[in-house]
Structure 1
């Protein structure tokens, strides 16, 4: 599952809190929805790796860490904080 794969990759950032939530069902009938989910995600994460980074830098770090997962999904919402 994509959510598990995301959590595994984000573990390298040593999060103190990590939630990877599949919100796909809430987007049924909307653009990018795929039957069975795995298209719309929300990540809530706190990590010391985010300290001192601007919001843009934090988002870039997450996208880089997720790598080839990002193009396989339709939407990714990020709620990030430095720990």
Structure 2
């Protein structure tokens, strides 16, 4: 069974072929907050750079990512912080 972070990383790589992908599990920073189960892998910080985001606004980029990760966001992932850029922006 793969971890939630491995699943997220695999889906993002398949969908966007990113030139940069940094995914950090920050669940331990959310103890006592809504959505924190104590098992980890519920709160993530994502920094991703991909050509697919060129010409798209911030909200459109987030929607693209939410679409790819719909299953995880409906289940184990409570919070996902996103910074999504195109290669010429970073």
Shorter-normalised TM-score: what interval?
over 0.9
TM-score by length of 1: 0.94
> Would you tell me which structure has more strand in proportion to its own residues?
1
Give, in whole Å, the separation in 2 of the partners of 1:66 and 1:26. Answer: 22
Following superposition, the deviation at residue 70 of structure 1 comes to 1.0
* Unaligned ranges ≥5, structure 1: none
> Would you tell me which structure has more helix in proportion to its own residues?
1
TM-score by length of 2: 0.87
* Unaligned ranges ≥5, structure 2: none
Determine the structure 1 residue equivalent to 2:74.
Answer: 71
Aligned counterparts, 1:11-50, within 5 A: 11-12=13-14, 13-50=16-53
Q: Report SS of the residue matched to 2:85.
A: strand
CA RMSD of aligned residues (A): 0.8
Q: Report SS of the residue matched to 1:59.
A: helix
Q: Report SS of the residue matched to 1:35.
A: coil
